[in-house]
Structure formats: structure tokens, C-alpha cells
Amino acid sequence: MAVNGRIEELKNAALSAVRGAESTAALEDARVRYLGRSAELTEIKKSIGTLSPDERKEVGRSANLASREIEGALEAKTAQLSAGEREERLRAEAVDVTLPGVPHPRGNLHPSQRIIDEVVDFFVGLGYGVAEGPEAETDYYNFTALGIPPGHPARTMQDTFFLDDGLVLRTHTSPVQVRTMLSQPPPVYVVCPGRTYRRDSDPTHTPMFHQIEGLAVDRGLTLGHLKGTLAAMARHVFGDDVTVRLRPSYFQFTEPSVELDVSCFRCGGSDPNCKVCKGAGWLEMLGAGMVDPGVLEEAGVDPEEYTGFAFGMGPDRMAMAKYGIPDLRLFFEGDLRFLRQF
Amino acid sequence: MRVPLSWLREYVDFELGVERLVELFTLHSQEIDGVYRLGVTAGEVVVGEVVEFGPHPNADRLSVAKVDLGGREVQIVAGAPNPYPGARVPVVLPGSVMADGTKLKKAKLRGLESYGMMMSERELGISADHGGILLLDETHEPGRPVADYFPVGETVIDIDVTPNRPDLWGMIGVARELAAILRTEFRVPEIPYEAGGEPTGAFGLRVEAEDLCPRYDLRRVSGLAPGLEAPLWMRRRIHAAGMRPINAVVDATNYVMLETGQPIHAFDAAKVHGGIVARRGRPNEKITLLDGTTRTLDGEMLVIADEERGLVIAGVMGAEDAEVSAGTTDALIEVANFAGDNILRTSQRLGLRTDASGRFERGLDPNMADLAMGRVVGLLARNPGGDVAPDTLSHYPEPVQPWRVPLRLPRAELLLGMPVGAEEAASRLGALGCEVEADGQELAATVPTFRRDLRREVDLVEEVGRLIGLDQVPEELPGVPQPGGLTPDQQRRRLLRRLLADLGLSEAITYTFGPRRWTDDLNAQGGAGAVRIKNPLSAENGNLRASILPGLLDAAARNKTFGLRGGAIFEVGRVFAPDPPSRALQGAALKFRMTGSVDALGPDAEPNKDSLMGVREEESVGVVLAGTIRPAGWNAPPVRAGFFEAKGLVERLVPGATFAPDAPSFLHPGRSAVVRVGEVKAGWVGELHPETAEKFGLDGWPVAAFELDPGVCRPDVEPRFEPFVSVPAIARDLAVVVERAVPVGEMAASVQGIGGLLAEVRVFDVYEGDQVPEGHKSVALGFVFQGERTLTDEEVDAEMARITAHLDERFAGRVRS
């Protein structure tokens, strides 16, 4: 039958056009041409109604089969071509992955503040509060309340900056402890970080520096509690492997007084040329002791009922040890070549 | 305190390497500042007798000697010319090691073999004398080791004595301490002498200033042989202990001071008129001291005088007048005790600190005088040889007695956190010189007067603890009965610092004091005045900072000179302002500052303690952006410091802040703003005025900065859930032309306020130029509208019409088509 032959021709032409298409656009052209509204095959389908029932059935069937076959071919070819085209596009979109990303520059925290934050976090975790007090302090809180009355030799050990009459730049953060004890009854567990001042300037001393002091007053506190607390603190800051030792010392407001050394976190004492401990195996870390009963009494606390321990450390020197900083004077110059390393 | 170990061994036996000795002292007593070596540390030094001595054939400055080392003759080349045939000399043999570490070898000097070396006093560690070879007397037998006569090498440990332990300023005290650590005995060999010289009583003694002079003892040694030096062993020890040998009499006084810690003074009796008077200085009294300076005394200084003139500023330094000298044959020996605080005051007043004043100011034991006097006169009787007076003049009206201190063992165990046995505690305290009675768990120690630091129970606890060993103290953690934490202010400052660092800024810490120009150059604050330091390190740095800015600007300028291209730094810290109390409160203020107590103003009014401090101290956060704060990237331009970079940071730190012109005058008048939170002024932000930049050495760099009260910052905001609808929002844009002076921020805020369906307003462009009339600008605004249900175009159009009308009415804004 002539119509069926034409359908066969159209189908073959369409399939060959689909096979030969090289882009999804060419495929779309082929689809419009062979299956579109005004395509010949579509026209044939529309004219089926004018045919005899017998023809109608046969032509209808072969036209539908041809359409389906062409659609199938189109679909397969589309998938094939668009996959290739996507790949092509991705290839074209490739970037140099070694170029730097959009910068989100990291800022810096000052090395002394890093140590202060670490130490404060440790004590906060134990249940300590954090107290602060004025840097321009009264003579009484800075000296007398700590057992250093006017004329006492210990005053000459602390080169003091004097302000207005009776005011000094605090030489230590101890007055904060006194203020704390006067303002609250025991138990007291507090650390006091802050800036302190001494009239001293040479390669190993700056006239401003930091201290962190701590104070615990409670029933039954012992030197063992002091040692255990500070050993745990040292491990928090310098690593789990360090050990501590106590040495006798002398401070005006503690009795017994001790100094605490931390084993060298770098060499553990095994390297005679160690840059951190200079071969000593120990780093002098802080001064401490049991709060002198006279200081407790001055603060209105009964030393028979309560005992306490106090300690003071220098976060600047701790930072020097921990980060390998050779010169204290670098700390307070605002030199970005220094600050950007932390 | 420099302790020569060979000297220490005179009082206490120990078999310890120096390292172990240092460790024991460190762990049980005092820190050791250093270990020094003198003389010959290893090898052999023998007595030689010079057989021949003559010039070196090949060198003008050298000599050559033949030396008999006890039957063996060797040739030695020498640099010094003083040996002579028959002289006895110390010879160090090849292979020996000197204190500085050099090892002596057989050598050829200018063609001649030299076997070892003849030694000077310095090379043997006897004194600083290097003028010639040490000549030994006839008692030294050729061939015998010199060490048979005196040590040829010395190890000295330098003890860093804490101020509470003046007893360790003497060898005897150190020996007692070591014996206590080692649980062994120590001894003080006696120095016997016979009395029988001219009586001390031929002179008078009068102590007028009893309060400044608790004890004064005087004893005469007459018939001294003039012109002698101290014996070699004594000079050697004095030198090793760090002092300079002078003459036989002075050296004996210094030697006993080094032994006992007690300073001793010797007068030439021939030059003392009438007697010794201890009195206060007289108005305008002058005294010329041994160091050649003339000092003017005041009425609080103690003078040791004779009936005519001042001889010594007591405990500090003597005058030339009555000092012993090489020719002295009759001496008055002073062993005295002076009030420590007065000596401290005098030496501070005069700016003169001496070995003696350093000892007296710590408070010495007046009972030490007996031992010290006995030893010094005994030594003088031996050398230079003299007759000790039978009598001692002594002023000691109130003898100090040993005192009893109780010690409860449970108390010791509580403080130390370790078990303390009664026997152990008693024996430890006994070793320190206490007499201890025990009654079960209660001890009572009678404390020797040389341990003035042991007054209270707790003082004894410390002694027992350190001698047992602090290594025995266990490591324990107390149960802290409270939650810890930062206060809200501390937490805020912590977050603020972290946030600024996360935003790419570097935290600086700068000095809180600085030069006057800090306030002068920030001209806005020039007149306000700064808190002054009375005794700054340099006149240059005498002001406490009133702002964080100048320190950061100085830092930025330093970074500029270092060649950096810029940076962003911040600091959180205190600023200070004078806050003098009212005239009526000035007395109360001084009392509060000195004593901590506050007088009531009336029946129920007490002044606020803060108002008596005189200084207002506040936390502040400062930021300086300078130069290029972020370098160009391959796909991004560089970021340079500018107003909006700084403002953006402020907006991040203080959400909801408002900005208005009227900032301080050190800022660019057109690029600066006051920052407010509600009605409260929170700080300022802006670019630096070019004049300010120039003054701080920052010209050529753009600089923007801000300073805020950290209390208003909200680096983190307590979140609160707001319900939201999930129907899509609709966005529209609008460009409006307004006069240039119209503040865009106000436009945006004003539009935001009209409410209705408008959810969000954003400024996305501001344009001046073509197509915009002169003196005007085009502001592009983006709007987001949000309803409960999907909005229709008509609804949004109506809202846009409202906005257009509002902009026209408020800002004469015309929509640009």
C-alpha cells in the first residue's frame, strides 16, 4: 500500500536524521521535521479518518509504530548528545584549583592573653570566679593590707610607680585578693588576672607586665591542695606530661611560701642544650604559699577556722616559654610581625 | 651570700658533689644563684724552689727558671720577674685544669721548653693580685703538694638569701642550715686568746640615741704589729667570698662578718678623742666618708662619733678620720646592733647602700655581738698580733631573750597536707637551734634569737615542712563548693576580643602610660588633664592614657617604619582620668588610701570609697585600621582603611548603634561620627584628621579608628525565635534622586518605619554624575515585601506607591525612571 510505503520512507529518513544529528539543536530540528505539527507523518495521522475502516486500522498502526520508533531514537540520541554536551561544558568551566580562595584572614590574640585565657578557663572549670580590681590602687591595698606597712624593707624590693598621694600603680594583682576577701566571706575561690607595674626596664623586665594571682580560702585547705591545683594547671597549659616540684621561698603574705617549678615540656630534662630550660630540666613558674594568718585576720577571716592558699604567676614569661619568644620587650610594641604569629 | 665550700667544711662535714649540694639547698632552703670555681680545679700544684732565674734568651719580657720540685729539676718559662734563686713558689704541673677550663700542657715558649707554670695569687684563687708569682715562706717544703698548706682550688656557691633569713648572711648560719638539711652535726671551732692589753675603759662609751642603737659593744686591742696583711688562708677566704682583702685589722673584721653575719667596725684608738658616742646627726652636720664623698646628715641618722666629731654613719660607712690603717697599733673594735628600719631609711636618704647597711636593715640578732667580738679580737691577737683588753664596754640595756612558740602537730599537718611526726618535728626544729619540749601532739620551741623570723606557729610549720621535704606533699584537688565562671562583663570582653580576632584583626597590648603628646596631640582631650606618674622611668612617659588610641597609633607608625603596608590592630584595656575628691574629702581620701578605713561624714553618711580613689578607671576597646588592611587578591581589589571599614566593625560589635556627625576634633570632620546606643554615647568612629596622622607619623596612610565602651558591645546577642511564613517574598527596586546632603541612612530608616508589608530595606547603590542633576545623588533601594499569603502585583504596587510618596514628602525624592 502506497501510504504504508511512504510511512516506511519517512521513518527511515527520520531515523537517519536522528542518527546523523550532532547536537541537541539538530535533534530538535529533526523532531520538528518528522514529528512536528506540520510534519508529513502527522499529516498522515490526521488524514486517517478519511480512510476506509480497513485502511484506517492498518495505516493507523504503522503510523503509530513509526512515531514510537522515531521518538525512541530521539530520546536515546538526546540522552547521548546532552551527556556529551554537559561534559563539554564542564570541561570548559574548569578553573585552576591552585589559585587561592576568597580570603577570610585570620586575626590574632596576643600571646599573653592566650595564656591568661587558658589559665582562667582552667580555674573557671574548677569552680573559681574571676575578680578584677583597679590598676591605679591605694597604698593600703597594694602594701599595708598584705603585711607590708610603710618603711617595710619589702617595699624597696618592689620599685613602685607613684601617682597622687597614697595612690600607686599596683605592683602586683594581690590587692584584688584583699578586696575580694573583704567583700565576701569564705569560701573564696578566685583568680585575678591583670596588668601590673614596676619601675624597672631592662632586657628581661618591662615596666608593665601581667600577673595572674589566685586565692582559695576555705575550711581544711592544705599545701597539698595548692600543689595538686597548680600541677593540674601546669598540665593544662604545658601538656599532660609535665610534673611539678615545690621549693621553699619567701613572700610577705604567705607562710609557708613556695615556688613551683614545672618540668621542661620540651625536653623533660634530657637535653643539656635545651633552648627552653637551658638544660636545667625545670622552669621556674610561679610563687605561692599558704595565706599568712595575719593577712586572713586583716581581712576579717578567722585563721583558726579557715586556711587558704594563694599563688601568682607571670603569663608573659609563660608565653615566652610556651611559644619560644626570646625577648619580653616584643610583647608591648604592637609590632605586627610579632602579633601575627599568634 | 658566696659560700666557699672549703670554708664551709670547717664547720660541717659533707660528702656531696656540688650538684647534689645545690639541689639540696634549692629543694630545702634557698635558691642558688650560681656556682663559681677559682684556682686549679683538677691536677697537681707542688711547692718548688727556684734554683736559677734569668732572662729568656729569645724574649725581652719573659724569664726562665730552673725549679727544684723536691729532687726533680724542671725548666719553667715565666712572665713575672719577681722570683729569685732560693724562692719558694707554687708550680702547677702539666695536665692540670684551671678554673676557666683551660688545660695546662707542656709547652715551648719562644724556643724553650716550659714544664708547668709558676702561679700568681689570682691564678691560685687567693686574691685578685696578678702582679707577680706568689712567694711562699720557708715552711713550705719543696716537692710537697701546695694543698697540704692551703686549698689550690675552690668551689663557691652563691646563695640567693631571702630577706627573712639574715642568719644565712654568715658562714656559721649556712653551716647550721646544711647540717639541718643533712641531719648531721656542725661545729664552730673556738679561737682562744688571752686578755691582758690596755683597758678599753680608758675610753668612754655613751649611747644617746638608745632607740636607734639597741646594743653597742666596744673592745680594745692594743700593741698591734703595724703594716701587716692578713694571713694567706684568711685573704684567700675573703677573696673567695667576694670581698677585697685590705689589711690585717680590716680583714679580721670582714672575716668575722662573713662568718657570723655581724658587721664589725674598727677605729684607730689613737685617733679617737675621749670616747665613743652614739648619737643622732646634728643640723647640717657633714661627714666625709671613705669613698671620698661628703654627706650632710639629718636628725634621724645615727652617727658614731667621738667627743669631737662624727666618725661613722652608723651601719653604713665610716669617715676617713678614725679608720684603721696600715700603721694602726691600737684599735677599738665596735660590734653593734642598729635599728634596721632606721638604717634602711638612712641608706635610702643618702642613696648609699653598703654590705653593712644591707645586713643591718634586715634586722640582726643583738646577741650575735658576743660571738663576733670574741672571734675578731682572738683573730687580731693572732695576726697581726696584739693584746686584747680585759674589759668590754657594752651598752645593751634590754637584752633580747629567746622566745617560746607553740606548735600543734594537727595544725602543721593541716597546713602542709602531709603527716608530721612529733619526733621528726622536734628533731628538725632542734637542728635549727630551737630547744623543743614535746607534750603529745603539742610542741613548744624556744627559738634562738638569731632566728627572728620564727615568731609564730605557722613559721615553725614552714621550717618543719621544708626540712622534711616539699616533695612529700601530695598532689590533691579541693572540692570547690561553688560554680565558677566569668562575670557577664568579662564574658563580653572575652567574646569581643575573640570576635575582632576572627574578623582578621590582631590583638595588641600597649603601655598604659606614655608621653604628654598622647594627650596633647589628640587635641580634643588636651585640656582635660591626665593622671600623672610622680616618678616615671623617663620624664617622657609620665601620663596614664586617657584613650587607647594613641598607643595603637604609635604601634601603627612603628609598623609603617618597619616597612609593612598596613594592618588592623585592636586592644581592650583600661583608660584613666583624674577624678580628684572634693576639697572637703581630701583628708578622708588620704586616710582611706593609706589605711583602708573610711571616716563617717556624719551620723549616717560615709563617703563612697570610689569617690576617694582620685582616678576614674574604665575599660575601653580601641581599633586602628591603617594603610592596606587586606592586600589585593587575584580576583579582589585591596581593602584600604576607611570610614566604612571601621563603621562596619562597629555595626558588627554594636548592633543597633546610631551614627551622627560631631565626633572629636582629632578625626576627619567629614568622615567621623559619634556612636550612640539609644541616647547613650558609646564612643566614636572615623578617619584620622590629616593633622593628627601627621603628628603620629602616619601621613601617607589612610587611617580609620574607633573606640567604644565594651559595656555597650554585643558581640553575641541572646537569640529569640521569631515566627516566619513560608509563602514567597517579593522583591522590588527603586532609584530615587535626592539632594546630595540627604543622609541615606535616615532615608532607609525612615522607609523601614512605614510598616505594612515591607519587610526589609537595603541600600545597594549611591550614584552621582551623568543623568543626575548637579548637587543631587541617585540612591538605589531594594525592598522585600512579605505577606501572610502570596502577594498580588496590585498589593505590592500599592506599597511601592506609599514608599514613593513617603520619600517625596520627607526627602523631596523623585523616582528616577
What's the pLDDT tens digit per position in A322-333? 998 989 989 999
Q: Which fold has domain A111-339?
A: BirA Bifunctional Protein; domain 2 (3.30.930)
pLDDT surpassing 90 at residue B486: yes
Please check if B453 is assigned to a binding site. Answer: yes
For B229-268, the DSSP string reads: PPPHHHHHHHHHTT-----HHHHHHHHHHHHHS--EEEEE
**How confident is the model over A201-218, as pLDDT tens digits?**
888 889 999 999 999 999
Q: Do A123 and B633 touch (CB under 8 A)?
A: no
Helix (H) or strand (E) holding B585: none
Q: Do B466 and A248 touch (CB under 8 A)?
A: yes
Mean pLDDT for A108-116 is: 97
**Residue of B169, B475, B570 to mutate when probing chain A, most A C-beta within 10 A:** B475
Q: Cα dihedral sign for B661, B662, B663, B668?
A: positive
The domain over range B200-395 is classified in CATH as 3.50.40.10:
yes
**A191 Cα to chain B: minimum distance (Å):** 10
**A52 Cα to chain B: minimum distance (Å):** 55
Question: Could you tell me how far CA B313 lies from the centroid of its own chain?
Answer: 29
Q: Which residues pair with B712 in a beta bridge?
A: none
The domain over range B40-155 is classified in CATH as 1.10.1200.10:
no
pLDDT surpassing 50 at residue B52: yes
Task: List the CATH code of the domain at B403-468.
Answer: 3.30.56.10
Q: What is the C-alpha to C-alpha distance for residues B572 and B136, in angstroms, rounded to an integer?
A: 71
Please check if B361 is assigned to a binding site. Answer: no
pLDDT surpassing 80 at residue B625: yes
Answer left, alpha or beta for residue B440, where phi above 0 means left and psi between -120 and 50 means alpha.
left
**Residue of A97, A152, A171, A223 to mutate when probing chain B, most B C-beta within 10 A:** A223
Helix (H) or strand (E) holding B752: helix B744-752
Q: Do A220 and B414 touch (CB under 8 A)?
A: yes
User: What pTM value is reported for the model?
Assistant: 0.85
Neighbouring residues of B62: CB distance < 8 A, sequence distance ≥ 6: B55, B56, B77, B78, B79, B109, B110
Which of B345-357 are b and which e, b meaning 16 or more Cβ less than 10 Å from the residue's Cβ?
A: bbbeebebebebb
Mean pLDDT for B258-281 is: 95
A231 interfacial to chain B (CB closer than 8 Å): yes
Task: Please give the share of chain B, as a percent, with pLDDT higher than 70.
Answer: 98
**B641 Cα to chain A: minimum distance (Å):** 15
Mean pLDDT for B310-329 is: 90
The partner residue sitting opposite B559, judged by closest CB among A165, A332, A335, is: A335
Mean pLDDT for A221-247 is: 94
**A86 Cα to chain B: minimum distance (Å):** 27
The partner residue sitting opposite A167, judged by closest CB among B486, B513, B615, is: B615
> pLDDT-derived band of residue B526, with 50, 70 and 90 as boundaries?
very low
Reading the block at residue B168, the C-alpha cell is 644565712
Q: Look up cell 660607712; give the residue.
A: B317
- Order of strands across the sheet that contains B63-68: B73-78, B63-68, B45-55, B88-92, B117-118
Instruction: List chain B domain ranges.
Output: 40-155, 200-395, 403-468, 489-599+608-712, 730-815
Tell which wins on pLDDT, B522 or B21.
B21
Mean pLDDT for A142-161 is: 80
**Residue of A170, A181, A225 to mutate when probing chain B, most B C-beta within 10 A:** A225
Neighbouring residues of B294: CB distance < 8 A, sequence distance ≥ 6: B286, B287, B288
Please say whether the beta carbons of A212 and A171 come within 8 A: no
The pLDDT mean for chain B works out to 92
The pLDDT mean for chain A works out to 90
Mean pLDDT for A85-95 is: 91
Instruction: List chain A domain ranges.
Output: 2-93, 111-339
**How confident is the model over A245-261, as pLDDT tens digits?**
999 999 888 999 999 99
Q: Do A135 and B617 touch (CB under 8 A)?
A: yes
**How confident is the model over B419-449, as pLDDT tens digits?**
999 999 999 999 999 999 999 899 999 999 9
| ipTM score for this prediction | 0.85
Q: Look up cell 697599733; give the residue.
A: B329
**Residue of A222, A284, A328 to mutate when probing chain B, most B C-beta within 10 A:** A222
Q: Which of A318, A329, A111 is nearest to A202 (CA)?
A: A329
Question: Phi and psi (nearest 5°) for B30?
Answer: -130, 155
CA angle at residue A98 from A93 to A103, to 5 degrees? 100
Please check if B770 is assigned to a binding site. Answer: no
Reading the block at residue A166, the C-alpha cell is 597614697
For A21-60, the DSSP string reads: --SHHHHHHHHHHHHSTT-HHHHHHHHGGGS-HHHHHHHH
The partner residue sitting opposite A110, judged by closest CB among B477, B507, B590, is: B507
Size of interface A-B (CB pairs under 8 A): 291
Q: Which residues pair with B514 in a beta bridge?
A: B543
Q: Look up cell 604559699; give the residue.
A: A289
Mean pLDDT for B760-767 is: 93
- pLDDT attached to residue A165: 87
Mean pLDDT for B14-27 is: 94
CA angle at residue A70 from A67 to A73, to 5 degrees? 150
Q: Do A224 and B27 touch (CB under 8 A)?
A: no
A225 interfacial to chain B (CB closer than 8 Å): yes
Which of B147-179 are b and which e, b meaning 16 or more Cβ less than 10 Å from the residue's Cβ?
A: eebbbbbbbbbebebbbbbbbbbbbbbbbbbbb
Give the SS3 label for residue A155. helix
Mean pLDDT for B18-42 is: 93
Please say whether the beta carbons of B331 and B388 come within 8 A: no
Residues of B in contact with A162 (CB under 8 A): 533-535
Residues of A in contact with B415 (CB under 8 A): 222-223, 256, 290, 307
Q: Do B162 and A249 touch (CB under 8 A)?
A: yes
Instruction: Work out the burial of residue A183: count CB atoms within 10 Å of its CB; fewer than 13 is exposed, 13-18 middle, 19 or more buried.
Output: exposed
**A274 Cα to chain B: minimum distance (Å):** 19
Answer left, alpha or beta for residue A20, where phi above 0 means left and psi between -120 and 50 means alpha.
alpha
Please say whether the beta carbons of B545 and B514 come within 8 A: yes
Class of domain B730-815: alpha beta
Q: What is the C-alpha to C-alpha distance for residues B738 and B256, in angstroms, rounded to an integer?
A: 97
Question: Phi and psi (nearest 5°) for B317?
Answer: -160, 150
Interface of A with B in 185-204 (CB under 8 A): 187, 189, 195, 199, 201
Q: Which of B517, B497, B454, B590 is nearest to B167 (CA)?
A: B454
Please say whether the beta carbons of B174 and B8 come within 8 A: yes
Weakest-pLDDT range from A175-179, B126-130, B287-291:
B126-130
**How confident is the model over A31-50, as pLDDT tens digits?**
898 888 888 888 888 888 88
Mean pLDDT for B54-63 is: 88
- pLDDT attached to residue A1: 58
Question: Could you tell me how far CA B301 lies from the centroid of its own chain?
Answer: 28
Instruction: Work out the burial of residue A137: count CB atoms within 10 Å of its CB; fewer than 13 is exposed, 13-18 middle, 19 or more buried.
Output: buried
- pLDDT attached to residue A105: 84
CA atoms within 13 A on the CB side of A290: 27
Q: Cα dihedral sign for A44, A50, A55, A60?
A: positive
- Integer CA distances (angstroms), B781 to A305, B680, B737, B765, B794, in order: 71, 30, 11, 7, 20
Helix (H) or strand (E) holding B526: none
Neighbouring residues of B464: CB distance < 8 A, sequence distance ≥ 6: B407, B412, B416, B420, B424, B425, B428, B429
Answer left, alpha or beta for residue A209, where phi above 0 means left and psi between -120 and 50 means alpha.
beta
- Helix, strand, coil distribution of chain A in percent, nearest 5: 45, 20, 35
The partner residue sitting opposite B482, judged by closest CB among A112, A127, A195, is: A127
**How confident is the model over B647-693, as pLDDT tens digits?**
999 999 999 899 998 878 899 999 999 999 998 999 999 999 999 99
Which of A205-222 are b and which e, b meaning 16 or more Cβ less than 10 Å from the residue's Cβ?
A: ebbbbbbbbbbbbbeebb
Q: Do B30 and A332 touch (CB under 8 A)?
A: no
The partner residue sitting opposite B634, judged by closest CB among A99, A220, A227, is: A99
The domain over range B489-599+608-712 is classified in CATH as 3.30.930.10:
yes
Mean pLDDT for A75-100 is: 90
Reading the block at residue B741, the C-alpha cell is 546632603
